[in-house]
Chain A
Amino acid sequence: MTALVRSELIKAFSTRTAWAMPLAMFLVTALFTAIGGFFLVYAELPVAGTTIRARDTMDEAVLVRMVYTGAVQMGYLLTLVLGILAMGSEYRHRTLTATLQAVPRRGRMIVGKVLGLVVVVLVNGLAHVTAALLAGGAVLLSADLSVAPDPGDLVLTMLRLLLVLVLWGLIGFGLGVLIPNQVVALFVGVAFAFIVEPLLGFGITFWDAVADAARFFPSQATMSTLNIFDGADAATTQALGGAENPLAWWAGALVLLAYAALMTAVGWLLTARRDVA
Chain B
Amino acid sequence: MDLPAPLRTVGAALEATGFHPGRSGRDHLRSLAATHRIPDARADELLELVGIPAAARKRAGGYSMGMRQRLQLAAALLGDPQVLLLDEPANGLDPEGIRWMRGFLRHLAHDQGKTVLISSHLLAEVEQTVEDVVIIANGHLVREGTMDALHGEPAALVRSPEPELLVRALDRAGLAASPLPEQGPDALQVRTPELARVGEVALATGRPVHELRGMRTDLERLFLELTDTPEHRNRNLGAPHTPAPTNPEETSR
Contacts and interface: CB of A to CB of B under 8 A. Distances in A.
Q: Is chain B a partner of chain A in the same complex?
A: yes
Interface of A: 3-4, 6-8, 10-11, 14-17, 89, 93-95, 97-99, 101-105, 276-277
A6 B34 CA distance: 6
A17 B59 CA distance: 13
B143 interface: no
Given A10-B27, A10-B30, A104-B6, 11 more contacts: A4-B34, A7-B31, A8-B31, A10-B31, A93-B18, A95-B20, A98-B17, A98-B28, A102-B6, A104-B2, A105-B2
Contacts of A93: 18-21
26 contacts: A3-B34, A3-B35, A3-B37, A4-B34, A6-B34, A10-B30, A11-B20, A11-B27, A11-B31, A14-B27, A15-B20, A89-B20, A93-B19, A93-B20, A93-B21, A95-B17, A95-B28, A97-B18, A98-B32, A101-B6, A101-B7, A102-B7, A102-B35, A104-B2, A104-B3, A104-B6
Nearest to B11: A101
A95 B18 contact: yes
A15 B24 CA distance: 8
Interface in B3-29: 3, 6-7, 12, 14, 16-24, 27-28
5 interchain residue pairs of minimum CB distance: A94-B18, A14-B27, A277-B16, A7-B34, A15-B22
B7 to A, nearest CB: 6
A15 B36 CA distance: 22
A3 B20 contact: no
A149 B22 CA distance: 45
Contacts of B18: 93-95, 97
A31 to B, nearest CB: 26
